[in-house]
């Protein structure tokens, strides 16, 4: 008798599992129940449809039930909601949302791919007409229709993650006044606060107002729009509000069926994607996974892992032995003209996970400096002290960011140390890279630290440096750069004059050195070391220090006067 597989949820994980099952078993009966009207749609493209970048709504739907059946002979039933799972009898209860008809469906194997639903805070006013969430194609059409009919001039977005930022950009492109409000004092939690500063700068430069560190307490209809009520601050008024404050696993079915649950009610699975109940598998945003770097339980709502998990569940149902090794959260985001990308664990979360983390910050060019059009990127590579195990990386810049993060993601997965990045043989031609690729440069930096060729001090150390003359603070940039801005207490001796002016620097005192990017100050540290000085190089340079400090000032002054002044 042919095997019958029922799949609940037909987006990333469910659709992938269905297609893989068919490729491995031509005779299996495969039924997918999807409660929305769409299967296999491009979640990540939804904000770009609202902004008009993607013009054809059909482009969002990668497959239709008809095309899926024609290609894979999978019975895809949209507008069908599974209302209960009965593991003891191996059936599910289903409701046809078009007709109201209810029926039971038998299975031999069951795959749960219910995804996650937008977190709906229990706040006054959450049901208002001008309040939206963005998760499904239907949500997208609702927002698009509202904009086309009502021509809103302003929007408040509650939440500064991927969806919030992509939506902010697309609404700005439509000419709307956009404010992002959220409780954390930074956008994009996968990034450390110092790296998020560059994302903030790009958002502000395109007119997006940031209200960071504010707690939303509710919503009220007022003057034909919505007031967003904030704790201890004036309310924000807008023509429309979108809640983008994150998602929670949609697992009521799994809970009622007695499956073991984990973080935030997510479904606990093993590395074969099997749940605690025999013959039931689960994949995608609803499952608890292991973080590849920390080994800790985690939730990650990303399409890449969901697709891989769907494939793994299908392999195992068909008698294979595929394993999911965990996710390292590799992701990339378009922020207006910028690209921001991350892999592995950031420094903040590495320390939270009990790892003894350190990092290097560098500002390499996207390609050879002598070839026109090169752009600076800011790169932070996080590693474990002592072992130099590569823990993660964050990059913010323009061209070439995505390929560097993918190299670093592969290096994390392969278990390379941060030092071994120097040995990677990466493709070079002047329009694309430099003979020493930014990834190699990070490896050279960490190697220098490991061998004591250089010692560094970091952003958080600057404010604690004594200003009592017990150490020397040295800025080795040009006089013009110094005049444009410098850190108080740092005196100027340009690097090319350093050897001639060593008598101005007292031997026996530690010397803390800064330049614009960290390169000239490194050269200065080597010169000083050659003459017996104990020198420390500032990681990231004045450019990094200035960007982060300006951002912090703006956030704090906004908190003091009630809104981001841009």
Cα gap 156→51, rounded to integer Å:
16
Tokens found for residue 85: 């799972």
- What are the phi and psi torsion angles at 67 (to 5°)? -70, -35
Q: Is 520 helix (H, G, I), strand (E, B) or coil?
A: helix
Report the distance separating Cα 497 and Cα 523, nearest Å: 12
**491-492/472-475 β-pairing:** parallel
Instruction: Please list the alpha-helical segments (H only) found in 51-136.
Output: 65-72
- Nearest residue to 431 (alpha-carbon basis) of 366, 523, 377, 385: 366
Pairwise CA distance, residues 514 & 539, whole Å:
8
Q: Evaluate whether 394 touches 191 at the Cβ level (below 8 Å).
A: yes
152 close to 173: Cβ distance less than 8 angstroms: no
**Catalytic residue (one of 44, 318, 515, 561):** 44
User: Which residue shows structure tokens 């009207």?
Assistant: 37
The C-alpha atoms of residue 431 and residue 87 are separated, in whole angstroms, by: 59
Q: Identify whether the C-beta of residue 350 lies closer than 8 Å to the C-beta of residue 382.
A: yes
Contacts of 500 (CB under 8 A, 6+ apart): none
Radius of gyration of the chain (CA): 27
* 515 flagged as catalytic: no
Q: Residue 89, class by beta-carbon neighbours within 10 Å (0-12 exposed, 13-18 middle, 19+ buried)?
A: exposed
What's the N-to-C CA distance of the chain in angstroms?
A: 67
CA angle 262, 265, 267 (to 5 degrees): 60
Instruction: Name the percent of the chain in helix, strand, coil, to the closest 5.
Output: 35, 25, 40
Q: What is the DSSP letter of 175?
A: T
- Tell me the H-state helices in 174-321: 193-205, 252-256, 303-317
Residues designated as active site: 44
């Amino acid at each position: 008798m042919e095997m019958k597989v029922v799949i609940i949820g037909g987006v990333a994980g469910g659709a992938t599992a269905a297609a893989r099952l068919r490729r491995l078993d031509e005779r299996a009966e495969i039924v997918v129940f999807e409660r929305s009207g769409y299967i296999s749609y491009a979640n990540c493209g939804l904000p770009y449809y609202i902004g008009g970048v993607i013009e054809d709504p059909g482009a969002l739907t990668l497959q239709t039930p008809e095309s899926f059946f024609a290609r894979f002979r999978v019975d895809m039933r949209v507008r069908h909601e599974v209302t209960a799972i009965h593991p003891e009898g191996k059936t599910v209860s289903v409701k046809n949302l078009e007709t109201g008809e209810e029926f039971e469906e038998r299975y031999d194997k069951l795959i749960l791919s219910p995804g996650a639903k937008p977190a709906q805070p229990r706040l006054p006013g959450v049901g208002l007409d001008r309040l939206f969430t963005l998760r499904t194609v239907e949500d997208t059409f609702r927002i698009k229709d509202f904009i086309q009919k009502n021509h809103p001039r302003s929007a408040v977005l509650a939440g500064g993650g991927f969806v919030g930022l992509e939506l902010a950009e697309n609404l700005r492109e439509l000419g709307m006044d956009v404010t992002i409000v959220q409780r954390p004092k930074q956008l994009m939690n996968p990034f450390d606060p110092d790296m998020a500063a560059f994302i903030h700068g790009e958002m502000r430069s395109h007119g997006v107002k940031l209200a960071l560190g504010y707690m939303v307490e509710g919503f009220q209809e007022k003057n034909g729009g919505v007031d967003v009520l904030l704790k201890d601050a004036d309310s924000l008024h807008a023509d429309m509000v979108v809640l983008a404050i994150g998602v929670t696993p949609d697992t009521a079915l799994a809970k009622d069926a007695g499956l073991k649950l984990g973080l935030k009610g997510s479904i606990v699975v093993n590395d074969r994607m099997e749940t605690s109940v025999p013959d039931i598998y689960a994949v995608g945003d609803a499952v608890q996974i292991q973080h590849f770097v920390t080994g800790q339980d985690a939730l990650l709502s990303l399409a890449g892992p969901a697709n891989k998990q769907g494939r793994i569940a299908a392999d195992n149902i068909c008698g294979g032995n595929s394993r999911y090794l965990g996710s390292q959260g590799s992701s990339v985001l378009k922020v207006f003209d910028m690209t921001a990308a991350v892999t592995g664990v950031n420094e903040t979360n590495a320390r939270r996970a009990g790892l003894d983390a350190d990092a290097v910050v560098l500002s390499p060019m996207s390609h050879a400096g002598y070839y026109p059009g090169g752009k600076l990127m800011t790169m932070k590579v996080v590693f474990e002290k002592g072992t130099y195990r590569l823990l993660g990386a964050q990059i913010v810049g323009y061209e070439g960011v995505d390929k560097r993060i993918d190299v670093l993601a592969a290096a994390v997965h392969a278990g390379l140390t941060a030092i071994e990045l120097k040995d990677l043989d990466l493709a070079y031609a002047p329009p694309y890279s430099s003979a020493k690729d930014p990834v190699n440069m990070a490896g050279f930096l960490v190697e220098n630290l490991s061998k004591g060729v250089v010692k560094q001090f970091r952003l958080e150390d600057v404010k604690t440096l004594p200003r009592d003359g017990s150490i020397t603070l040295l800025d080795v940039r040009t006089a013009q750069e110094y005049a444009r801005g410098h850190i108080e207490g740092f005196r100027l001796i340009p690097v090319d004059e350093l050897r001639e002016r060593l008598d101005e620097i007292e031997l026996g005192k530690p010397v803390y050195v800064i330049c614009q990017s960290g390169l000239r100050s490194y050269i200065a540290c080597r010169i000083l070391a050659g003459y017996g000085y104990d020198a420390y190089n500032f990681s990231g340079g004045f450019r990094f220090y200035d960007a982060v400090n300006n951002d912090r000032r703006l956030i704090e002054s906004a908190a003091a006067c009630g809104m981001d002044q841009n």
